[in-house]
Amino acid sequence: MAQLSLSLLSFLLFFSMQAASLALLDPLLKSVSNTVDAVGDGLKKVTVTVSDTVSPSYSLHDSNETLRSAGIFIKKTNFLYGPAVGGGPYFPTGPLGLAKVTADQALINLELGSQLALVSLDLVDSTLSASQYNGLKKLDDYVLLYKDQLRRSLPDGPELGALTNFTQDLFFSMERLANSPYMIKRLLPASDTLQFTVNDAIVKDVTNSTLQQLFDSGRLFYADYRAHNDLIRAARYSAACDAYFYIDSKSGANLIYTPLDSANDWLLAKIMYNVNDFFFAQTSHLASTHEVVQIAYMAAIRTMSDNHPILALLNRLMYQAFAIQPLALNRGLINSTLGPELSSFPFFEDGSVIFASLRTFMSTFVSSYYLNDAAVKADAELQAWVQEARGPAAARDFPTITSTDDLVDVLTHIFSSGGLFARPLLEGTNRTLVHMFDDQSMLSRMNDQTRTAAAKFMKDMQTFSTKYLL
Q: How far is the CB of 281 from ligand NAG (least distance, A)?
A: 21
* Largest Cα–Cα separation, the chain: 80
**Residue closer to ligand NAG, measured from CB, 161 or 391:** 161
Phi, psi dihedral angles at 223 (to 5 degrees): -135, 135
Cα(285)–Cα(281) distance, integer angstroms: 6
**Residue closer to ligand NAG, measured from CB, 91 or 244:** 244
Q: How far is the CB of 261 from ligand NAG (least distance, A)?
A: 16
- For 205: left if phi > 0, alpha if psi spans -120 to 50, otherwise beta; the answer is alpha
**Residue closer to ligand NAG, measured from CB, 372 or 441:** 441
**Residue closer to ligand NAG, measured from CB, 132 or 430:** 430
Q: How far is the CB of 207 from ligand NAG (least distance, A)?
A: 6
- Residue partners of 257: CB distance under 8 A and separation at least 6: 169, 172, 173, 243, 244, 245, 246
Classify 302 as helix, strand or coil. helix
Amino acid, res. 451: R
Q: How far is the CB of 327 from ligand NAG (least distance, A)?
A: 11
Handedness of CA 325, 328, 332, 335 (dihedral sign): negative
Binding residues vs ligand NAG (CB under 6 A): 64, 66-67, 160-161, 164-165, 208, 250, 325, 329, 334-335, 430, 439-440
CA distance to 102, 123, 124, 372, per residue, from 128 (Å): 38, 9, 6, 65
**Residue closer to ligand NAG, measured from CB, 134 or 337:** 337
Sheet of 242-246, strands arranged across:
185-186, 220-224, 242-246
Q: H or E segment at 410?
A: helix 404-415
Q: How far is the CB of 141 from ligand NAG (least distance, A)?
A: 20
Q: How far is the CB of 165 from ligand NAG (least distance, A)?
A: 4
Quick check: 415 and 317 in contact, CB under 8 A? yes
**Residue closer to ligand NAG, measured from CB, 159 or 373:** 159
β-bridge mates for residue 243, sequence order: 223
Classify 163 as helix, strand or coil. helix
Q: H or E segment at 11?
A: helix 2-11
Q: How far is the CB of 134 from ligand NAG (least distance, A)?
A: 24
- Residue partners of 290: CB distance under 8 A and separation at least 6: 14, 17, 88, 319, 320
Quick check: 347 and 178 in contact, CB under 8 A? yes
Q: How far is the CB of 440 from ligand NAG (least distance, A)?
A: 6
C-alpha torsion angle, residues 328, 334, 335, 339 (rounded to 10): 120
CA 49-53-57 angle, to 5 degrees, is: 100
Quick check: 57 and 50 in contact, CB under 8 A? no
In terms of Cβ atoms closer than 10 Å to its own Cβ (0-12, 13-18, 19+), residue 164 is exposed
**Residue closer to ligand NAG, measured from CB, 164 or 283:** 164
**Residue closer to ligand NAG, measured from CB, 162 or 286:** 162
Q: Which residue is nearest to ligand NAG (CB)?
A: 161
Phi, psi dihedral angles at 66 (to 5 degrees): -60, -45
- Crossing angle for the helix pair 292-303 and 65-78, to the nearest 10 degrees: 140
Q: How far is the CB of 430 from ligand NAG (least distance, A)?
A: 4
**Residue closer to ligand NAG, measured from CB, 170 or 371:** 170
- Crossing angle for the helix pair 380-390 and 292-303, to the nearest 10 degrees: 140
**Residue closer to ligand NAG, measured from CB, 42 or 326:** 326
Q: How far is the CB of 193 from ligand NAG (least distance, A)?
A: 25
Q: How far is the CB of 258 from ligand NAG (least distance, A)?
A: 8
Q: How far is the CB of 130 from ligand NAG (least distance, A)?
A: 28
**Residue closer to ligand NAG, measured from CB, 282 or 429:** 429
**Residue closer to ligand NAG, measured from CB, 165 or 195:** 165
Q: Are strands 185-186 and 91-93 parallel, antiparallel or unpaired?
A: unpaired
